[in-house]
């Protein structure tokens, strides 16, 4: 069976035309499976939540809701730690890492593990979204098929993006936004060879969702008021403020997760996160789960019921309502961060939409208190969603097209562009990297649209390490050195000891004048001839840093040293050759 599969794969990949046909077929399959996975996840979470909350009402302040988040996070951590034995959180960041550092290869368990983990987390009240887990599932499916057919790195990345597009298109029924997400967030190159598979997969995923779940979308709104030019300054102001909200969202959530990471005992971490989240949900039930139901009611002016569910009591006072919305905005970020920080599985997609919608309502209510032109609350909520998404994810186009597809038209296209772009510009002043990419960028592991930097980031020193340099012991003499040179094919001789501690190098050109003087063989020591190079390379350095060292020093070979131990050399010629090969691969249409 294995031989037959190998022959089949070889035949399919025998020429470029067949490879492209294979990719198109795989895009359909990936779209179908990722779309089905999205539908399964949505329904599983819904029915699990319905099962565990059957008979309980938030407005009765049932104390069981204090325990639900802890139970969900505990089950998630047990599943990840003892069954999967891997970290399954932060799905989009894992995809970006796989693209940047692992040739698009994701682990097979990611095809299902994040779905199980997010179901346990969100159904029991974890204040996160399902989008990142399902994107990781879709991308893992694309990676699996790419590995199954032994496709090259570029094609692997296209299939990873196709899986993500199919999943997003299915979960939101927004195929255009799904494609834009892969291009903008996953940084898949905008070429026809990449775009067509993304379009096929996203359309297929959306059709699966329509077929199995009907034509209704996550947010279905009938706009009663379109865009008027007189409202443009308010949308610009909304863009500025949503940029600042995005900054709070990103920095504070990363700070809380960083603090929780310092807790070494996993059970203590789960206890802290579960109890903190339970208390917040007990006080503000709107923080339970993804929050889409709350957001839908808020935008449709069903505010009284939402306030009645809290411990704050009932009032129609507009200032009290503004305070209520501020509390929701503040604690949603905290709830999301403690969910992820304590071991829950979920993403920031839904929380960013939630924050944007809530802030849009807050902004509109505050503006309408002033004796100026009133603004429509529903429009501000929808545009605010695009603003916060653009800021948090550094993805203005994704926010624009997602909300446009939510509303079923482009009546708000101009304010969406204005708000999303201003939000993006605002947060870029403070944070050059999104919440997905900040940690990767800090470690030099981020793939970008900049081909030169991306190719260098995909190259690893370990893959280009040359170990065919003959070495000599530091206790040796010139006579010993001549014997080594006679067997060496290189013009550099590393000097080490029995434990491979690196002491320097001998450059053959420096000793040509004494190599043929036998009377010096016993009296001249290697330590008298060697020198320590002015530039060394650590095997954990990025290839971008290695390229900079080659450029600054003009050396042809640099020694690779780890904790003082000699490992080998990297050569300018080999690095440049590999770089050109990769760059050509990425530049081909």
| pLDDT of 161 strictly over 80 | yes
Question: Quick one: 229-449 is in which CATH superfamily?
Answer: Clc chloride channel (1.10.3080.10)
Q: Would 2-213 and 455-587 be classified into the same CATH topology? A: no
* pLDDT tens per residue, range 186-219: 877 767 778 899 999 999 999 998 888 876 656 6
> Would you tell me which CATH number, out of the four given (1.10.3080.10, 3.40.30.10, 1.10.150.20, 3.40.250.10), belongs to the domain 2-213?
1.10.3080.10
Give residue 556's pLDDT.
Answer: 85
Mean predicted lDDT score pLDDT of the chain: 84
Span 508-553, pLDDT tens digits: 888 888 888 888 888 888 888 888 888 898 888 878 788 888 888 8
Nearest to 396 by CA among 227, 181, 195: 181
* Confidence at residue 523, expressed as pLDDT on a 0 to 100 scale: 83
State the average pLDDT over residues 123-133.
Answer: 88
User: What's residue 307's pLDDT?
Assistant: 58
Which of 154-158, 328-332, 585-589 bottoms out in mean pLDDT, i.e. has the lowest? 585-589
What confidence category does residue 387 fall into, taking pLDDT thresholds of 50, 70 and 90? Answer: very high
pLDDT at 104: 80
Cβ atoms of 124 and 72 closer than 8 Å? yes
**Structure token digits, residue 332:** 């949603």
**Is a pLDDT exceeding 60 seen at residue 117?**
yes
Specify the pLDDT at position 589.
45
Q: How far is residue 434 CA from its own chain's centroid?
A: 9
| Local confidence band at 412 (pLDDT 50, 70, 90 cut-offs) | confident
Q: Token digits for 448?
A: 């970008």
CATH of domain 455-587: 3.10.580.10
Residues 419-429: tens digit of each pLDDT? 999 999 999 99
pLDDT in tens, 270-321: 999 999 998 998 888 888 888 888 888 888 776 655 655 555 555 567 788 8
Q: What angle do CA 267, 133, 34 make, to 5 degrees?
A: 150
Note the pLDDT tens digit of each residue in 435-479. Answer: 887 776 665 555 554 555 666 666 778 788 888 888 989 888 888
**With 80 as the cut, is the pLDDT of residue 63 above it?**
no
| CA–CA distance, 305 with 319 (Å, rounded to integer) | 17
Residues 6 or more apart in contact with residue 519 via CB below 8 angstroms: none
Verdict on whether the full-model pTM lies above 0.85: no
> Looking at residue 35, what is its pLDDT?
92
Q: CA 34, CA 26: separation in Å to the nearest integer?
A: 12
Is pLDDT at 141 greater than 90 in this prediction? yes
Q: What is the DSSP letter of 125?
A: T
Residue pair 388/245 in contact by the 8 Å Cβ criterion: yes
pLDDT band at 74 (very low <50, low <70, confident <90, very high): very high
Please report the pLDDT score of residue 297 as a whole number: 81
| Residue 579 pLDDT > 50 | yes
> Which 3-state string (H, E, C) describes 47-85?
HHHHHHCCCCCHHHCCHHHHCHHHHHHHHHHHHHHHHHC
Tens-digit pLDDT profile for residues 329-361: 999 999 999 999 998 898 888 899 999 999 999
Q: What are the residue ranges spanned by the domains of the chain?
A: 2-213, 229-449, 455-587
Whether the pLDDT of residue 40 is over 50: the answer is yes
User: How does pLDDT run across 230-259, given as a tens digit for each residue?
Assistant: 889 999 999 999 999 999 999 999 999 889
Q: Calculate what percentage of the chain has a pLDDT beyond 70.
A: 86
- Contact by Cβ (8 Å): 140, 115: no
By the 8 A CB rule, do 68 and 242 touch? no
Q: How far is CA 277 from the centre of its chain?
A: 24
């Amino acid at each position: 069976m294995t031989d037959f599969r190998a022959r089949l794969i070889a035949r399919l990949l025998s020429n470029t035309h067949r490879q492209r046909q294979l990719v198109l077929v795989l895009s359909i399959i990936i779209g179908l499976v990722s779309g089905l996975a999205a539908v399964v996840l949505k329904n599983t979470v819904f029915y699990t939540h319905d099962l565990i909350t059957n008979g309980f009402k938030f407005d009765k302040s049932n104390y069981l809701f204090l325990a639900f988040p802890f139970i969900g996070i505990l089950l998630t951590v047990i599943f990840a730690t003892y069954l999967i034995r891997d970290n399954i959180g932060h799905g989009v960041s894992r995809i970006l890492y796989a693209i940047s550092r692992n040739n698009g290869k994701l682990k097979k368990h990611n095809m299902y593990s994040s779905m199980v983990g997010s179901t346990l987390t969100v159904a029991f009240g974890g204040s996160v979204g399902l989008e990142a887990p399902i994107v990781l599932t879709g991308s893992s499916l694309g990676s699996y098929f790419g590995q199954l057919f032994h496709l090259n790195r570029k094609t692997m990345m296209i299939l990873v993006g196709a899986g993500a597009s199919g999943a997003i298109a299915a979960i939101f029924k927004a195929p255009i936004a799904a494609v834009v997400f892969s291009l903008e967030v996953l940084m898949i190159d905008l070429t026809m060879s990449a775009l067509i598979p993304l379009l096929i997969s996203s359309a297929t995923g959306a059709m699966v969702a329509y077929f199995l779940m009907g034509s209704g979308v996550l947010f279905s709104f009938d706009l009663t008021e379109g865009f008027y030019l007189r409202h443009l300054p308010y949308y610009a102001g909304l863009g500025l403020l949503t940029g600042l909200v995005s900054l709070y969202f990103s920095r504070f959530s990363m700070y809380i997760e960083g603090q929780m990471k310092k807790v070494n005992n996993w059970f203590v971490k789960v206890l802290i996160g579960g109890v903190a989240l339970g208390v917040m949900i007990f006080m503000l039930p709107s923080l339970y789960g993804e929050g889409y139901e709350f957001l839908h009611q808020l935008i449709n002016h069903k505010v009284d019921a939402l306030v009645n569910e809290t411990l704050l009591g009932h009032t129609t006072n507009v200032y009290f309502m503004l305070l209520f919305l501020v509390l929701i905005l503040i604690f949603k970020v905290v709830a999301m961060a403690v969910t992820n920080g304590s071991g829950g599985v979920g993403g920031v997609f839904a929380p960013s939409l939630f924050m944007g919608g809530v802030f849009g309502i807050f902004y509109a209510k505050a503006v309408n208190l002033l004796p100026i032109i009133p603004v429509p609350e529903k429009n501000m909520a929808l545009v605010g969603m695009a603003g916060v998404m653009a800021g948090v994810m550094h993805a203005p186009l994704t926010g624009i097209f997602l909300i446009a597809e939510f509303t079923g038209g482009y009546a708000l296209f101009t304010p969406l562009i204005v708000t999303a772009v201003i939000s993006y510009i605002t947060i870029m002043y403070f944070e050059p990297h999104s919440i997905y990419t900040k940690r990767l960028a800090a470690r030099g592991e981020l793939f970008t649209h900049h081909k030169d930097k991306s190719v260098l980031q995909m190259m690893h020193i370990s893959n280009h390490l040359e170990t065919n340099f003959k070495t000599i012991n530091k206790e040796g003499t010139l006579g010993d050195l001549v014997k080594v040179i006679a067997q060496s094919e290189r013009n550099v001789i590393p000097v080490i000891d029995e434990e491979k501690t690196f002491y320097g190098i001998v450059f053959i050109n420096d000793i040509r004048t004494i190599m043929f003087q036998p009377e010096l063989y016993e009296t001249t020591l290697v330590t008298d001839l060697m020198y320590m190079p002015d530039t060394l390379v650590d095997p954990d350095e990025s290839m971008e840093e290695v390229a900079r060292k080659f450029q600054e020093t003009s050396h042809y070979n640099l020694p690779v040293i780890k904790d003082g131990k000699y490992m080998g050399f990297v050569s300018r010629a080999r690095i440049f050759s590999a770089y050109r090969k990769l760059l050509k691969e990425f530049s081909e249409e």
